[in-house]
Amino acid sequence: MSEPVEKENQIEDQERTQEDQKEPLGQKTDTSRMYARLLLGALLLSGESFTNLLRNSQDRVESRPGFTSTEERVHAETELDQMRYLLIGSLYQAQKYAAKGLRRGVQFTLRTTGAVLGTFYALTDNSILRPVRRPVDAALSTMARDADQVLRAGRYEEKQSKAVAQVTMDELADELIDYIAENPKVTKAIQEIVGAQGIGMAQMAADDVTEKTASGDDALEGFIRRLFRMTPRKDLPGSPIAGQHHYMYLPDNYNPEAGDNNH
Amino acid sequence: MAMNATETNDTRLGQYAGFITRLIAWVIDRGIILGLWWLVSFGIDFLLQTLEISNDKYQNWIVLLVILINIVIYFIYYIGSWMVAGQTPGKSLMGVRIVRTDGRRLKFHNAVIRLVGYWISSLFLYMGFWWILFDSRRQGWHDKLARTMVVYSENRVERSEQDLLLRDHLKIQREQQKAAKSG
């Protein structure tokens, strides 16, 4: 393939990629793509934040004056300790080997492909076999073009996704704050929740569940009694400690009604 | 004291707890116990592998050890919870507690009989548990045997307030005792 034609092709490809990535004028991005972008962006942003957090923690730990070196033994090691260290060390070593293996694998593949292609070109570099090279050249060029397009699309999508997620989160936060500020009932409810000491949302939710199951107890009993043709029970059976708070835990001399007289 | 079945949870305080609440509490407790058993089995297996002790050589002993530890966990979980707090974690979550028929805290023998009673209640297709539905005091066979009953506890919000009051009371009592000793 001659050089001017190759250049022309490259320019065409670039233009096509740019066209692919741009949203058509007057046409909105489709919903699934937007959600995908939001999801991807949120993942990328949270991943970045978490990595930064980890990096900061690592730096802080390493800058501590008492940070122990790898050679230092903190205390007399038992066999169990050594087994644990061996296990942890092996995990890191395995990770290193895996990364090294992957790098070597990629390098080997590239080298082998280069060698095979080099040999192929050397063997077909004559007027008789030149026509054989054409389909191979075309296939390779298409592959390279596709890969390049995917790469560019990925680069573009990552940037877009992060921006979309950032803007959406900011907007959501603003909306939420506005909503809270404009609704005194919500503000009051939040103040009550935050202000109530020792009473969590979980406690209230659990109380709600308890109340519902307690009603279920009566309903089931009523149903079973009807099923077995027993007389329906209108009243619950009386208990000797009905209405008594914390009866079993209280000291004998404690009387909640007495207030200060208790002590 | 009798009360209408449709009244709210506040008026249920101290009343006999019903079947569904107790069943859910029982399932939660079983789940926790199973989790503990799994942890023990996993821990022992890990220890054996770490110390390179062959499983085949001591297989019977290992099985026996696991069973023994699990039985101990089972006893400690139930008896300990009943005696210390009057409720297992499952019962606490469902807002019920176990008391003696006179309303007092369980004694050791009540707790042991109740636990053994669980197995007796499990016989004949869990008949002892189904009994709760028909009994006038909502007692299962295990409750009858151990002379215990399961009652609704106060709701958690109310209990937090009660706990604060009780804590203050106990603190003042301790200070008074200290002062009396030193004085």
Give the pairing of strands B148-152 and A235-236.
unpaired
Please tell me if residue B179 touches chain A, with a CB cutoff of 8 Å. Answer: no
Is the pLDDT reported for residue B146 higher than 90?
Answer: yes
Mean pLDDT of chain A: 75
Lowest mean pLDDT among A176-180, B16-20, B135-139: A176-180
- For residue A199, the chain B residue with the least C-alpha distance is B157
Choose the closest CB to A210 out of B1, B95, B136. Answer: B95
Contact B13 A242 (CB under 8 A): yes
Residues of B in contact with A233 (CB under 8 A): 5
CA-to-CA distance for A231 and A222, rounded, in angstroms? Answer: 9
Lowest mean pLDDT among A57-71, A190-204, B44-58, B76-90: A190-204
**Model ipTM?**
0.70
| Mean local confidence (pLDDT), A93-119 | 84
CA-to-CA distance for B116 and B123, rounded, in angstroms? Answer: 12
Q: Would you tell me which residues 164-203 of chain A have a C-beta closer than 8 angstroms to some C-beta of chain B?
A: 198-199, 203
Q: Would you tell me which residues 95-134 of chain B have a C-beta closer than 8 angstroms to some C-beta of chain A?
A: 95, 97, 99, 101-105, 133-134
Lowest mean pLDDT among A136-150, B151-165, B168-182: B151-165
Beta-carbon contacts of B23 under 8 Å, excluding residues fewer than 6 positions away, are B129
Residues of A in contact with B132 (CB under 8 A): none
Residue burial A53-78, b: 16+ Cβ < 10 Å; e: rest? eeeeeeeeeeeeeeeeeeeeeeeeee
pLDDT recorded at residue A260? 42
Is the pLDDT reported for residue B1 higher than 50?
Answer: no
Which pTM was predicted?
Answer: 0.48
Angle at CA of residue A16, ends A11 and A21, nearest 5°: 130
A236's enclosing H/E stretch is strand A235-236
| Mean local confidence (pLDDT), A144-171 | 86
CA-to-CA distance for B124 and B128, rounded, in angstroms? Answer: 8
Contact B13 A221 (CB under 8 A): no
CA distance A231 to chain B (A): 11
